[in-house]
A and B are shown apart, each in its own frame.
Chain A
Amino acid sequence: MHERPNRRLAVHKGFSWGEDPYEIKKKEGREVYDTIILDDSRDKLLGEQDKEVTFSIRLLAPENRRMKYCFRMVKAKISQEPKKYKDILLVRSQRGLLFPGNWSIEILEMSKDLQWVAHTTGVLT
């Protein structure tokens, strides 16, 4: 089953998995992170631009490769303009697909804390 490639769904065209973060870092000399958004669109993130926001990011090109995909909480400024801030932020949908276009991020504080949320009952997640 699926021994050879099939056609791709038209609705998924335009998304991608992106370039190798280490290649991006090497090419641009900037750190690379990503964030996974929970909403169906980037509207909320667009509204957070240029403000100090606290959210969870993943390390995509750390010096120690074993740290790749580790989560960190950051206080940061972000922008959809790819070069506005120091480093690169990739934006990923909650189903994993990468939205086209790099964002930029200026990290003001980074901690090893995680993004904790309250227990809920009654729903299957």
Chain B
Amino acid sequence: MAFRDIRGYISSLVDSGEAIRIKEEIDWDLGASAIVRLANQLGSPAPIMENIKDYPGCSLAGALFSNYRRAAIAIGLDPDLHPSEILNLYHRRSKHPIKSLIVDKAPCQENVITGDDINLLELCAPYIHEGDGGRYLGSWQFIATPDYDTDWINWGMCHLMVHNETTLGGLLLPQEDIGIMFYGKYLPNKKPMPWAAVIGTEPLTTIVSAAPYGRGKSEVDWAGGLRLEPVELVKCVSQPLYVPANAEIIIEGVVDPDVLRLYEGPVGEYTGYRTSPRMPRVAYRVTAITFRNNPINCVACLGVPTDDSDMMAAVLARSDMLTTMEINGIPVVDISIPPQMVSHAAIVSVGKPHSNVANRIATLLFGTKNTGMNLQQLFVCDEDIDVFDIKQVLHAFATKCHPKKGITYYDNQPATPLLPHLSYEDRLLGRTTKVVFDCTWPLEWSPTRDIPVRGTFWDMYAERTIEKICNKWQEWGYPQDMKRVWEEGKERASWKKK
């Protein structure tokens, strides 16, 4: 069953040991985010901080989606499932959108502030990292924007920095959907672009905003499909937009076309660095604030892996890339976007229908709009590699990837400006080089003369030997239940042709 709101999800995380409630007073000024950061680095439960200095009644919660267990809970699955099973279910559900439902009354409008009463400083915006350009009210949220000349409403995830009492600012990239809407339509027509920032929904409704669902397609329907229930929407109080009724905080406003930009940033980013410099960026003028009683602001304290953004990429980018390969008939066995590689690397295991399949995959994946922008390094492995076992991948890379013939570079590729390895000039121009590492045995190699048998316990011994040893393993005092492991995996490891 879908979570109605972030509160239900948090309760479930607490019940399963994936979150803890902190009652002691915590400072919004670096204190809360530092707790989130350390929890991320230690792989600890998500901190739900319910007593925030200067903001009685408000809570800050972070690391809500920062491992596969939390992703499984968000989707309504057993958190002990293998990542591949969690991600495959997500991928299947993403193909069946469910239309949203409009409601008249909504918890997110329990408190409504408009006009001269608007003051963003009344909301608990954490100061996230030392040296950030400002307080970030939105770090794990999304912005809804209506298209200029169609009825499409886009959801996009982006940071929102507090400039002063009434103005927010943030990075609005021209190649993203919201950027295409603003720079391509609203700005040339000199019309204000309405927006609504949505903070604190159950996790699936928020994460879909970061995915490349496709132009003209509304993320809200996708979120419904993932939840197996429609998302309830309510009309905004000051803008022609509908927003999730059970969100914690809604900030409404416009981006004025005739208003100039404001210096925004820097802020710690998903790459694990404070990559983006302080630059002139879009100013979001606020026209209304609505929020639930005792609102919870969700904090993504981005930094080194693994945090919410890394996991989000592991789920969303995988599904997007899988779709691209399915459409193009690539016999993909599995794909992983290792959270440790911050969406910049993908590992694909594949059957080989023809030679040079690694470069065919590379040309497909490097060209996709969102995931392709981030993807820098592609590892293509044979079907015998578990792409979720990074040690296996490293071994395959070190032994099967020819240092010259196995590596292909793609120059002058589009890039996100947040890539830390880019020079200042390349960052501004969004220009990078991408690379594919072919870690597969060449198709033309003989299976008896050229392709060696791998030296693992599972490959180098007959099934009868494996079974005998696995059955006895725990009797000899070892802790692992190898009998179960073999039972579950023996079909996969079979020598028989299908």
Q: Is the CB of A112 within 8 A of B164?
A: yes
Residues on B with C-beta less than 8 A from A27 are: none
Residues on A with C-beta less than 8 A from B263 are: 36, 38, 56, 115, 117
CB proximity to B under 8 Å, residues A83-125: 92, 94-98, 112, 114-121, 123-125
Q: Is the CB of A114 within 8 A of B131?
A: no
CB proximity to A under 8 Å, residues B108-131: 121-122, 127, 129-131
Residue of A98, A117, A123 near B262 (CB, 8 A) is A117
Residues on B with C-beta less than 8 A from A68 are: 29, 127, 135
Cα distance, A98 to B130, chains bound together (Å)? 10
Residues on B with C-beta less than 8 A from A117 are: 260-263, 280
> Which residue of chain A is the closest to B340 with respect to CB atoms?
A1
Q: Is the CB of B132 within 8 A of A125?
A: no
From residue A87, how far is it (CB to closest CB) to chain B in Å? 20
Q: Is the CB of B41 within 8 A of A2?
A: yes
From residue A57, how far is it (CB to closest CB) to chain B in Å? 12
Residues on B with C-beta less than 8 A from A125 are: 171, 276-277, 279-281, 417, 428
From residue B88, how far is it (CB to closest CB) to chain A in Å? 26
With A65-B54, A115-B262, A118-B261 known to touch, is A1 a contact of B304 (CB < 8 Å)? yes
From residue B285, how far is it (CB to closest CB) to chain A in Å? 11
Q: How many residues of B contact A (CB 8 A)?
A: 51
CB proximity to A under 8 Å, residues B456-473: none
A43 close to B (CB within 8 Å)? no
Q: How many residues of A contact B (CB 8 A)?
A: 34
B167 close to A (CB within 8 Å)? yes
Q: Is the CB of A96 within 8 A of B131?
A: yes
B156 close to A (CB within 8 Å)? no
- Chain B 42-67: CB-based contact to A (< 8 A → 1; otherwise 0): 10000000000111000000000000
Cα distance, A70 to B428, chains bound together (Å)? 27
25 contacts between A and B (CB under 8 A): A1-B305, A1-B306, A1-B340, A3-B42, A36-B263, A66-B121, A67-B121, A68-B127, A69-B127, A69-B134, A69-B135, A69-B162, A70-B121, A95-B131, A95-B277, A96-B129, A98-B131, A114-B167, A117-B260, A117-B263, A118-B261, A124-B427, A125-B171, A125-B281, A125-B428
- Which A residues form the contact surface with B (CB < 8 A)? 1-3, 17, 36, 38, 56, 58, 65-72, 92, 94-98, 112, 114-121, 123-125
Top 5 nearest A-B pairs (CB, nearest first) are A96-B131, A116-B260, A125-B279, A124-B417, A17-B130
